[in-house]
């Protein structure tokens, strides 16, 4: 069997480990042949591929990014669609596709599977917001990077007696902010799931400052304070029609300074959280998911993705995977809020 692999959407640590796990198991156990679609769905729509022999995946599990490249191409636009993609697959002798990506990638994979294409998915999102899997690779690395950065912000904040606001990723959910904030000892954690007033945030900041601390606020990019109607976005839409978020930390700075009188600075971590080498946890998880994706192909489980349930890898349908986001539960936030102020 000839299998095509693609990585689509935002890059994240662990993508190469998935590719390696899939290729090594596919070749050594089943004798499969592999090709890679270049730059995500763009390569699928245009039939742009490269061969992936075993030698190509040697030692790549520890590398960040993706050797195949990625993009936010919509496979149903710019001359794409099921018929075009199937023609390319037939012409190139590709029997099935393993699509590695997040919500947008898997939603596109579901539509293509519904149209008759043979596709299985591997979930990828640093936000850890897919409900059908306990964890996604990339999340652990993003939290570690954010924690280390926030630790560095704390030392400079204490030197200048300032309040620091660290903005982390989290479009719809606050898992990175929650974990990194708790790990770094934040005095306030602001996430999309919780509508917090600017007065309450200022109160937490003043309480920490009154104890001689340099207040530390961790905010997810999708957080919406009570004086705003929607997440801060000034960079337009992506190819899937979603607002490009980022900058809420800068919006909070003057509001907090006005209410607290404390000099405040903002740092937006942005793509730093998606770069660099994956953590050991993410390397292992990504490798296991890649190997399990081969099982899905061999068993003909089209229209499914592999998922981590506890410590086991299971196969779930795209519909279940895309049914709802995995948000931070109220009890988890209240647990963290005990430490605020």
334 is in an annotated binding site: no
Average pLDDT of span 281-307: 97
Q: Are 40 and 6 in contact (CB under 8 A)?
A: yes
**pLDDT cut 70: percent of the chain above it:** 97
For residue range 124-139, list pLDDT tens digits in order.
Answer: 999 999 989 999 999 9
pLDDT of res. 320? 87
pLDDT of res. 237? 65
Structure tokens at 140: 């652990």
Calpha distance 132→304 (Å, rounded): 11
Instruction: Indicate whether 240 pLDDT > 60.
Output: no
pTM here? 0.92
Q: Are 119 and 97 in contact (CB under 8 A)?
A: yes
Environment class of residue 120 by beta-carbon count within 10 Å: exposed (0-12), middle (13-18) or buried (19+)? buried
Question: Model confidence at 50, in pLDDT bands (50, 70, 90)?
Answer: very high
Calpha distance 145→132 (Å, rounded): 25
For the beta carbon of residue 50, count every other beta carbon within 10 angstroms: 15
Domains of the chain: 2-137+278-322 (3.40.50.450), 140-274 (3.40.50.460)
Question: Which secondary structure element, helix H or strand E, spans residue 35, and what is its range?
Answer: strand 33-37
pLDDT of res. 10? 87
pLDDT of res. 231? 81
Q: Are 218 and 168 in contact (CB under 8 A)?
A: yes
169 is in an annotated binding site: yes
pLDDT of res. 235? 67
Average pLDDT of the chain?
94
Q: Are 252 and 165 in contact (CB under 8 A)?
A: yes
323 is in an annotated binding site: no
pLDDT of res. 321? 84
pLDDT of res. 239? 58
CA proximity to 120, closest of 25, 3, 33? 3
244 is in an annotated binding site: no
Instruction: Indicate whether 236 pLDDT > 70.
Output: no
200 is in an annotated binding site: no
pLDDT of res. 255? 95
Average pLDDT of span 287-297: 98
Instruction: Indicate whether 274 pLDDT > 60.
Output: yes
pLDDT of res. 238? 63
40 is in an annotated binding site: no
For residue range 145-200, list pLDDT tens digits in order.
Answer: 999 999 999 999 899 899 999 999 998 999 999 999 999 999 999 999 999 999 99
Report the catalytic residues: 127
For residue range 73-104, list pLDDT tens digits in order.
Answer: 999 988 899 999 999 999 999 999 999 999 88
271 is in an annotated binding site: yes
84 is in an annotated binding site: no
251 is in an annotated binding site: no
Question: Model confidence at 241, in pLDDT bands (50, 70, 90)?
Answer: low
104 is in an annotated binding site: yes
């Amino acid at each position: 069997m000839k299998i095509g692999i693609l990585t689509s959407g935002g890059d994240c640590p662990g993508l190469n480990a998935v590719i390696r796990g899939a290729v090594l198991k596919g070749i050594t156990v089943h004798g499969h042949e592999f090709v890679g679609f270049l730059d995500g769905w763009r390569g699928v729509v245009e039939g742009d591929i490269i061969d992936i022999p075993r030698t190509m995946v040697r030692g790549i599990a520890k590398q960040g990014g993706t050797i195949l490249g990625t993009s936010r191409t919509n496979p149903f636009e710019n001359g794409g669609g099921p018929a075009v993609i199937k023609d390319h697959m037939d012409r190139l002798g590709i029997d099935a596709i393993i699509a590695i990506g997040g919500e947008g990638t898997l939603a596109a994979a579901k539509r293509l599977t519904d149209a008759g294409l043979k596709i299985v998915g591997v979930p990828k999102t640093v936000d850890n917001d897919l409900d059908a899997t306990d964890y996604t690779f990339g999340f652990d690395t993003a939290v570690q990077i954010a924690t280390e950065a926030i630790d560095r912000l704390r030392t400079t904040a204490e030197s200048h007696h300032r309040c620091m606001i660290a903005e982390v990723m989290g479009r719809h959910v606050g898992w990175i902010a929650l974990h990194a904030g708790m790990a770094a000892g934040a005095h306030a954690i602001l996430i999309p799931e919780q509508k917090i007033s600017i007065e309450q945030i200022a109160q937490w900041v003043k309480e920490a400052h009154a104890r001689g601390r340099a207040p530390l606020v961790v905010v997810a990019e999708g957080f919406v304070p009570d004086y705003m109607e929607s997440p801060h976005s000034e960079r337009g839409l992506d190819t899937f029609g979603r607002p490009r978020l980022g900058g809420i930390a800068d919006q909070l700075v003057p509001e907090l300074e006005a209410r607290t009188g404390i000099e405040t600075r903002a740092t937006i971590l942005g793509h730093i959280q998606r770069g660099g080498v994956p953590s050991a946890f993410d390397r292992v998880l990504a490798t296991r998911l890649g190997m399990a994706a081969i099982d899905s192909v061999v068993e003909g489980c089209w229209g499914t993705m592999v998922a981590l349930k506890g410590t086991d890898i299971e196969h779930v349908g795209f519909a279940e995977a895309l049914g709802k986001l995995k948000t931070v539960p109220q009890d988890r936030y209240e647990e963290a809020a005990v430490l605020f102020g």
